[in-house]
């Protein structure tokens, strides 16, 4: 506004008309074309009007003369009949008062800005107890069950929540009560948040999303205040879904750990328990939460009337992985040689997030190779990187170390190929990958949900294959089998303490009551005696020793095949499972019969 007023004042003071030089002005006067002039005494500005019958008749002009017009020029002006008027204009009042008011305006503006700043800071402090939940209404494009690939059983479980929020009358007529809280339990990356958002999209109700860490603050009582505000906001919406992600951050067991629990976290949990008890069945508010650590949640949070239904979101099965891969491949250029079934079979134990990362890694490999489509080779490279790690091409092994690594991986590959019922061998390589100098990779034909004793024993034999191959060929023991020994020992210990696969221990579990959390059970005593612990160690040692003997016999009987596999690894660095099976068949094939020699007659 200030700039506009100054500009307007300057424009108003500028005269309009033709600009003339003082010389042109005198020539027009002598020619009789000027009717009258007005001389400004403050700036010697001369303005006037033309006369006559020419093009400029009746027009105006302005020019700038000397500070004081000479007598000769005045005489010329008067002789030509020009009326002369001298004027002293008064100054603009706004421009005169502006220097006086400008400092006051600056000071007033500064205090106004300070007041607004303090008001915003006070507003932030006063609103610290407000909920930080993000609200997704039906006006926004929502996620539905069609966007969630696989998980048919999980969708069936949560469909009741959708039916209740869509039509509450049929539940009220029969007297049925919908669960007030649904807890989604599963490993990270399985899509728990996506499923909860799909429930809101299917039901067409507002969806309030908040994480457990949003309730915690350095001020005491803030968490409980935010819980109250969250539930008040949900009640105003009528029907709504409150989704709390990572609820284990505020729903941990109260009083767990040494020295008691965190008071602020416990008060937040107490407030949440009280708010959930205040729900009525007709309110139309459903609590949903997600966690991957259900074992540490407070029991009061899981009782009927609160989170009274737990929906397990497991790692995807073979059919689910196939559908999830199809979703992530939908908008990518895929080559015709890519078989989704093969990729799904080769990715057991991967979550939806892992599969998404696998497809993206394959696309990155295709870009690096300069390809226009993602081929099966790119998916194979991406799977190796995700499962085994990045190849370390810069690591150079010496000749003896490279030969020992070839026999080490050859021992693993030979055991995997010859053990009955073991997962099919995919490939074996001596290229340093990740933290390993070589890798032997197997791919299961189907998902495994339980393990038999023979399968566990075969896993131990396969893990000990590299160490025994080194001993058999070089008669040395190296540190390359450290990870193999750790895996074998873990399997043997679980066979004894968890799975009841030891004749001496019998059907007894010695694994303990669960994971240690915040000091819980840290000071507890063992539930078995020292004699039992000694017996466990003896049984673990006996299992490992017996499996090592079986592994050594297997390698000794197939020494020729082991040499062929190691020789091919030294030449090619990477050998597929089909080539390993062919080499084993070649080594075990009977030698062709030789023709009997006939001695010449004497």
The Cα 256–Cα 595 span in angstroms is: 83
Burial of 561 (C-beta count, 10 Å sphere; 0-12/13-18/19+):
buried
* Residue of 534, 555, 380 lying closest to 466 (CA atoms): 555
Structure tokens at 597: 């020699």
- Alpha-carbon separation of residue 541 from 415, 493, 532 (angstroms): 21, 9, 14
Residue 82 CB partners (closer than 8 Å, separation 6+): 29, 34, 35, 36, 37, 48
Query: Tokens in use for 320?
Result: 């689910």
Q: Are 80 and 42 in contact (CB under 8 A)?
A: no
Q: Kindly give the residue spans of alpha helices, DSSP state H, lying in 419-464.
A: 453-463
Strands of 45-50's sheet, edge to edge? 18-19, 60-64, 45-50, 34-40, 83-87
Six token digits for residue 95: 């421009």
- Report the distance separating Cα 123 and Cα 115, nearest Å: 12
The C-alpha atoms of residue 207 and residue 564 are separated, in whole angstroms, by 63
DSSP string, 177-227: ---SEEEEE--TTS-HHHHHHHHHHHHT--EEEEEGGGG--SSTTHHHHHH
* Residue whose tokens read 């107490």: 270
Q: Kindly list the catalytic residues.
A: 409
For residue 416, give Cα distances in angstroms to 422, 436, 464: 6, 18, 11
* Tokens 């000479």, residue located: 70
Distance CA 37, CA 281 (A): 93
CB 246 within 8 A of CB 211: yes
Instruction: Compute the C-alpha angle 39/45/48, nearest 5°.
Output: 60
Long-range pairs of 583-586 with CB within 8 A, sequence gap ≥ 24: 584/414, 584/417, 584/418, 584/558, 586/561
Helix (H, G, I), strand (E, B) or coil at 230: helix
Closest CA to 136 of 197, 226, 194: 197
Contacting residues for 130 by C-beta, under 8 A, at least 6 apart: 225, 226, 229
3-state secondary structure (DSSP) of residue 351: coil
Residue recorded with tokens 């008011």: 101
| CA-to-CA separations, 592 to 483, 560, 562, 582, 595, in angstroms, rounded | 42, 17, 21, 18, 10
Instruction: Please give the DSSP secondary-structure letter assigned to residue 13.
Output: T
CA 236 vs. chain centroid, Å, equals 32
């Amino acid at each position: 506004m200030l700039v506009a007023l100054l500009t307007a004042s300057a424009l108003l003071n500028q005269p309009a008309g033709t600009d003339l030089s003082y010389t042109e002005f005198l020539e027009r006067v002598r020619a009789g074309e000027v009717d009258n002039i007005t001389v400004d005494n403050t700036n010697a500005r001369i303005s006037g009007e033309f006369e006559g019958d020419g093009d400029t008749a009746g027009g105006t002009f302005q020019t700038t003369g000397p500070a004081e017009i000479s007598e000769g020029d005045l005489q010329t002006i008067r002789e030509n009949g020009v009326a002369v008027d001298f004027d002293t204009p008064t100054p603009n009042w706004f421009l005169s008062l502006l220097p006086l008011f400008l400092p006051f305006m600056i000071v007033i503006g500064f205090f106004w800005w300070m007041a607004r700043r303090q008001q915003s800071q006070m507003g932030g402090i006063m609103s610290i107890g407000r909920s930080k939940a993000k609200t997704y209404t039906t006006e926004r494009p929502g996620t539905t069950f069609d966007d969630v690939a696989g998980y048919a059983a999980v969708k069936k479980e949560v469909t009741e929540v959708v039916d209740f929020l869509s039509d509450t009358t049929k539940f009220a007529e029969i007297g049925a009560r919908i669960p007030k809280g649904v807890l989604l339990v599963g490993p990270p990356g399985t899509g728990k948040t996506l499923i909860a958002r799909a429930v809101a999209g299917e039901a067409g109700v507002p969806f309030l999303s908040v994480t457990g860490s949003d309730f915690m603050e350095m001020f005491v009582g803030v968490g409980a205040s935010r819980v109250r505000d969250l539930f008040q906001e949900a009640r105003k919406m009528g029907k709504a879904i409150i989704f709390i992600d990572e609820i284990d951050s505020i729903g941990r067991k109260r009083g767990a750990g040494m020295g008691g629990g965190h008071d602020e976290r416990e008060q937040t949990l107490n407030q949440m328990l009280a708010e959930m008890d205040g729900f009525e069945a007709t309110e139309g508010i459903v609590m949903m939460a997600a966690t991957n650590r259900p074992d540490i949640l407070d029991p009061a949070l899981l009782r009927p009337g609160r989170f009274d239904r737990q929906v397990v979101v497991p790692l995807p099965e073979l059919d689910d992985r196939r559908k999830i891969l199809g979703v992530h491949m939908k908008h990518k250029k895929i080559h015709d040689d890519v078989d989704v079934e093969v990729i799904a079979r080769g990715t057991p134990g991967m979550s939806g997030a892992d599969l998404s990362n696998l497809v993206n890694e394959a696309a990155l490999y295709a870009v690096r190779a300069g390809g226009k489509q993602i081929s099966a080779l790119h998916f194979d490279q991406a799977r190796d990187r995700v499962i085994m790690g990045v190849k370390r091409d810069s690591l150079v092994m010496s000749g003896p170390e490279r030969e020992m690594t070839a026999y080490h991986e050859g021992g693993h590959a030979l055991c995997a190929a010859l053990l009955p019922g073991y997962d099919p061998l995919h490939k074996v390589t001596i290229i340093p990958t990740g933290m390993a100098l070589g890798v032997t990779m197997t791919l299961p034909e189907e998902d495994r949900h339980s393990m038999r004793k023979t399968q566990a024993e075969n896993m131990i034999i396969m893990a000990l294959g590299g160490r025994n191959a080194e001993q058999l060929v070089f008669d040395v023991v190296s540190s390359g089998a450290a990870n193999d020994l750790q895996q074998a020992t873990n399997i043997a210990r679980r066979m004894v303490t968890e799975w009841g696969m030891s004749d001496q221990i019998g059907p007894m579990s010695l694994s303990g009551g669960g994971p240690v959390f915040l000091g819980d059970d840290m000071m507890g005593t063992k539930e078995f005696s020292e004699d039992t612990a000694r017996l466990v160690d003896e049984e673990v040692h006996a299992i490992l020793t017996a499996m090592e003997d079986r592994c050594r016999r297997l390698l000794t009987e197939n020494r020729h095949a082991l040499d062929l596999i190691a020789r091919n690894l030294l030449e090619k660095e990477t050998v597929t499972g089909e080539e390993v099976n062919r080499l084993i068949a070649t080594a075990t094939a009977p030698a062709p019969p030789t023709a009997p020699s006939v001695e010449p007659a004497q």
